[in-house]
Structure 1
Amino acid sequence: MTAYDSAADIGLLILRVVLGLTMAAHGYNKFFGKGGLKGTAGWFDSMGMKPGMFHARIAATTEMSAGIGLAVGLLTPIPAAGFVALMLVAAWTVHRPNGFFIVKEGWEYNLILAASAVGIATIGAGRLSLDHLLFSTSTLYDYLHGWWGLVISLGLGLAGGIGQLAIFYRPPAKADAA
């Protein structure tokens, strides 16, 4: 292992941990923050993701599991797909009408989180990950990075997010401007 390999592994570890724990914190907040799941469910209902309690549980659980999975680098394309699905749904239901920039509550942040997770899945979790520790001598390891990492994370994530929107999202009717 060269010094460059070591630095790249440390860089991947930093990215995975920061992205993963940020996402996990969002899930934790949905479970235990002000209003808890009940408040999150009411918010989901109000934006058209019904039933709200079902989606609150799914979102909080997915945010925590995808976040922790990415942070530790376990089956990395799967948690990365969770990031894509979560951020697609959030961007579409909450942030899309506000444009791109986060300063106007746009979807910029959603894109950064999803693209970063897909990037990590494509590069691979690195030597400082559970993927490397558990699977580096197995053929499964070949599916946890490279083109397979890209296809799995992006394909599963888009399918999950689009599927959830198609099945459950019913935007609230806009008030008539009279």
Structure 2
Amino acid sequence: MDIDLAQLIIRLALGPMLVLHGANKVWGGGGLTGTAGWFESLGLRPAWLHARVAAVTEIAAGVLLTLGLLTGLAAAAFVGLMVVAMLTDHRGKGYFVFKGGWEYVLLVAMVAVALAVGGPGTWSIDSLLGLDLAGPFWGVVALAGGAGAALGLLALCYRPARRGSVSESSGG
């Protein structure tokens, strides 16, 4: 059994996926303006700032995880991003992703925590540099740190429109 190969495969699945999500926020259909509009509709204020922070965080965390560099910290960023997505875009839509639910973001966060615990493997920059940023402690850092950062961000910046508010009912 080659755990290093398994860890590399997981990193190569998860890391580039998040890089592409971040790149899509910048260069996809509506670009950063469209992303900001979407974030505004979710209740993230100021939306223009959150669009940029989310894109940069997704690209950076995805690159770090792909390379196996600062893996525990990259995993914390993954968890934070997924918790924000779970509590904004996927909120109230149930579990299943095909109904818009939080199944997918929960799985991504859990796999990131597992990588923080298990480490990036021998074929990683962490290993090359002799960085030991893996183990149960780093799993807790990824889970608690990522979730804590997400909840702090939402406490400060999440202001969704109220159902039946004047702006929503008037279409404005």
Scaled to the shorter chain, the TM-score interval is: over 0.9
For 1:18-167, what aligned pairs fall within 5 Å after superposition? 18-135=13-130, 140-141=131-132, 144-167=133-156
SS of aligned partner of 1:98: coil
Q: Distance in 2 between matches of 1:64 and 1:28?
A: 7
The alpha-carbon deviation at position 111 of structure 1 amounts to 0.2
Q: Percent identity?
A: 47
Note the residue ranges of structure 1 that are not aligned, 5 or more in a row. none
Q: Structure 2 counterpart of 1:33, which letter?
A: G
Q: What's the offset of the Cα at 1:175?
A: 1.6
Could you tell me how far 1:171 is from its partner in structure 2?
1.2
RMSD: 1.2
Number of the residue aligned with 1:16: 11
Of Structure 1 and Structure 2, the greater helix share is in 1
Aligned structure 1 segments of 4 or more residues deviating by more than 2 angstroms: none
Count, aligned residues: 166
For normalisation by structure 2, the TM-score amounts to: 0.93
Distance 2:107 2:141 in 1: 18
- Name stretches of at least 5 consecutive residues in structure 2 with no aligned partner: none
